[in-house]
Structure 1
Amino acid sequence: MIHMAKTMLQQHFKLKDLGDLKFFLGLELSKSQEGIYLCQRHYALAILEDSGMLACKPSAIPMEANLKLHAESGTKLQDPSIYRRLIGRLLYLTISRPDICYAVHKLSQFVSNPHTDHMNAATLLLRYLKHTAGQGILFKANSDTRLHAYVDADWGTCSDSRRSTTGFCVFLGNSLVSWKAKRQTTVSKSSAEAEYQALASVASEIIWLKNLLTDFQVSTTHAAVYCDNKAAIHIASNPIFHERTKHLEIDLHFVREQVTRGVLKLFHVRKFHQLADVFTKALPRNAFLSILSKMGIDNIFLPS
């Protein structure tokens, strides 16, 4: 397909073929028999150099487990622009680094008024980058075209607003292609409500991906969605509305419609197997590394 596109363009324009893509806008690509490896190693090292952290002590985790940050944590920074610039660069790094997605999401909530505790947490994240500068995603060559996703919500975790955190990851076959950590826009009255809002978010993402695959003339079947909240799954599968879910009506209609049409199939997954956990909270080292290995996140620059 790539060769056909090049041939067609060469018929109309003067082109210079530079060969296989290896570097683009800070993204580094490497091909092998296993597949295509995507990372931002040079960009991560540039962040460390600009922050004066190239010689720092490495950390095995990006954020302390169960760390609680709020708007007034510590004392106010004298120069908040340093923190803001750092978070902006880290946000771009999440393009290929789902392992830091939650930590960057959490720290980005304080860019308007950063304090010392926020900067200390960002420093730990930089130490993690020192340990994992070459980490990235492997898009496997033997992957099929079936979509499946894991979705989770951490109920009421924002100390300042009590809003919940949505987290999900979507796979095309056994390759991770989409992920998100985001604070929900409204306060949920229960964990089931928070999980249902997360279901609506991942449903929208799956529909977008299915439409994208259709444009590439790739056919897909239903997408399996794994959720660890039985109440949220029951609400999505039950055609009867209840007073307690009336305020969720738009999300209810949307998710149920996708389930009824066969676009989505919902399955319960035990908490231990919930890969989306890494996008809703800071995990202990062993749990964190276990999820990363299951998601196909690797570092080809480490000695074998």
Structure 2
Amino acid sequence: MTTIRTILAIATSKGWPLHQMDVKNAFLHGDLKEEIFMSPPPCMFSSPSTDITMSMGSDSQFIEKLQQQLKSSFHMKDFESLQYFLGLKIQHCPTGTILHQHKYTQELLTLVGLQDSNSVLTPMEVNLKLRQEGGDLLSDPSLYRQLVGSLNYLTITRPDISFAVQQVSQFMQAPCQAHLAAVRRLLRYLKGTSGRGLFFPSSTSLQLVGFSDADWASCVDTRLSIPGWCMFLGGALISWKSKKQARVSKSSIESEYRAMSAACSEMIWLWVGRHEISLPHISTENQPADVFTKALSRHRHQLMIDKLMLLDRPTSI
């Protein structure tokens, strides 16, 4: 998904058209010996089973030639302009492109009967510390696991829920009532922000900039630190992470160095051409990675959303 977001960011910045094609019955073109199950499990929703391709670039003749070559080898359907890709909605506006999962969010809320519930302004309560022992165990944890799995997929376009999803993902084996309550609050947050998505601005630079942060020893069960980092290509957010560190850090500076190391590894993977990474200090007030390390107050959460370039989908287009 980082590659897909990077492609969208580059195409939008350079004003390149995005073209979409679909290979009909793509699974019939492969030589498979394994047993294939075509029906999804009960209580799960998914998009139709298709193999979508997208193309972009400044050379329109080359793209047209490539499309003709694909059509000569496969039975393909031409969708012209890219609109849906792997369940993600791509909407174009005069100032850029918005990538969102509004339809998917609405289906998820309907699944749990929260489509008419009251919304909240933050995905998680400030200073809430979830523990392994969070009260009575759920008699049937299947719904909890299904919801957390669905929320993980939603983080493709919703970095603002990454920390909350990381927190509730820790208790898949034995979820308790407190864990389910945290999931339901997160869903109520999505109720009021279902149309929110990533904005990729047009005519922006393609400079790669990253931010990293860490909340030292914040896990109450293990005392592991929770780092977070995010990467911007120009003004577009293309990559981020919120995940507990594997080892206990003896000091806050150690946890910060570990977070910085992970962020630098991601930057190298994202094609740092000059092999140079500068490390300036970023104040807490201007640190967008803060939203990946802890639950924030309403005011600060909204500030971080603005910095992450999260916008509501255009409804008039």
How far apart, CA to CA, are the structure 1 residues paired with 2:187 and 2:147? Answer: 10
2:186 matched to 1:117? no
**Matching residue within 182, 189, 209 for 1:148:** 209
Q: Structure 2 unaligned runs (5+)?
A: 1-56
Alignment of 1:23-34 (within 5 A): 23-34=84-95
Deviations, residues 206-251 of structure 1 (Å, cap 9, x unaligned): 011116xxxxxxxx55xxxxxxxxxxxxxxxxxxxxxxxxxxxxxx
- 1:286 is aligned to 299
Alignment of 1:261-280 (within 5 A): 263-280=276-293
How far apart, CA to CA, are the structure 2 residues paired with 1:38 and 1:26? Answer: 10
CA positional deviation for 1:23 = 1.2
How far apart, CA to CA, are the structure 2 residues paired with 1:99 and 1:16? Answer: 35
User: What is the TM-score with the length of structure 1 in the denominator?
Assistant: 0.81
**Matching residue within 165, 173, 176 for 1:104:** 165
**Matching residue within 63, 66, 69 for 1:11:** 69
How far apart, CA to CA, are the structure 2 residues paired with 1:156 and 1:5? Answer: 51
Percent identity of paired positions between Structure 1 and Structure 2: 42
CA positional deviation for 1:92 = 0.3
How far apart, CA to CA, are the structure 2 residues paired with 1:109 and 1:128? Answer: 20
**Matching residue within 268, 271, 278 for 1:210:** 271
- 2:256 is aligned to 195
CA positional deviation for 1:53 = 0.7
CA positional deviation for 1:300 = 2.4
How far apart, CA to CA, are the structure 2 residues paired with 1:272 and 1:66? Answer: 19
- Give the superposed CA RMSD: 1.5
Amino acid at match of 2:225: S
How far apart, CA to CA, are the structure 2 residues paired with 1:28 and 1:62? Answer: 22
2:310 matched to 1:297? yes
Amino acid at match of 1:202: A
- 1:89 is aligned to 150
**Matching residue within 131, 135, 140 for 1:70:** 131
**Matching residue within 126, 129, 136 for 2:190:** 129
CA positional deviation for 1:74 = 2.0
Q: Go from structure 1 to structure 2 and tell me whether the alpha carbon gap of 1:5 and 1:129 turns closer, same or farther (over 3 Å shift).
A: same
How far apart, CA to CA, are the structure 2 residues paired with 1:291 and 1:302? Answer: 23
Q: Secondary structure at the match of 1:268?
A: coil
How far apart, CA to CA, are the structure 2 residues paired with 1:110 and 1:55? Answer: 27
How far apart, CA to CA, are the structure 1 residues paired with 2:221 and 2:136? Answer: 17
CA positional deviation for 1:302 = 7.0
Q: Secondary structure at the match of 2:270?
A: helix
User: What is the TM-score with the length of structure 2 in the denominator?
Assistant: 0.77
Amino acid at match of 2:102: R
CA positional deviation for 1:18 = 1.1
In terms of fraction of residues, the more helix-rich structure is 1
**Matching residue within 85, 96, 103 for 1:42:** 103
Q: Structure 1 unaligned runs (5+)?
A: 212-219, 222-261
For the 8 Å contact 2:91–2:313, the answer to whether it is kept is no
CA positional deviation for 1:72 = 0.4
How far apart, CA to CA, are the structure 2 residues paired with 1:276 and 1:146? Answer: 18
Amino acid at match of 2:69: Q
Task: Count the aligned residue pairs.
Answer: 255
Deviations, residues 114-137 of structure 1 (Å, cap 9, x unaligned): 001000010100000100001001
How far apart, CA to CA, are the structure 1 residues paired with 2:173 and 2:131? Answer: 13
Q: Secondary structure at the match of 1:188?
A: coil
Q: Go from structure 1 to structure 2 and tell me whether the alpha carbon gap of 1:264 and 1:130 turns closer, same or farther (over 3 Å shift).
A: same
CA positional deviation for 1:12 = 5.3
How far apart, CA to CA, are the structure 1 residues paired with 2:91 and 2:284? Answer: 34
How far apart, CA to CA, are the structure 1 residues paired with 2:243 and 2:124? Answer: 16
Amino acid at match of 1:96: T
CA positional deviation for 1:27 = 0.4
CA positional deviation for 1:9 = 3.3
* Residue range with higher mean Cα deviation, 17-26 or 59-68: 17-26
2:229 matched to 1:168? yes
Q: Secondary structure at the match of 2:238?
A: strand
Amino acid at match of 1:5: I
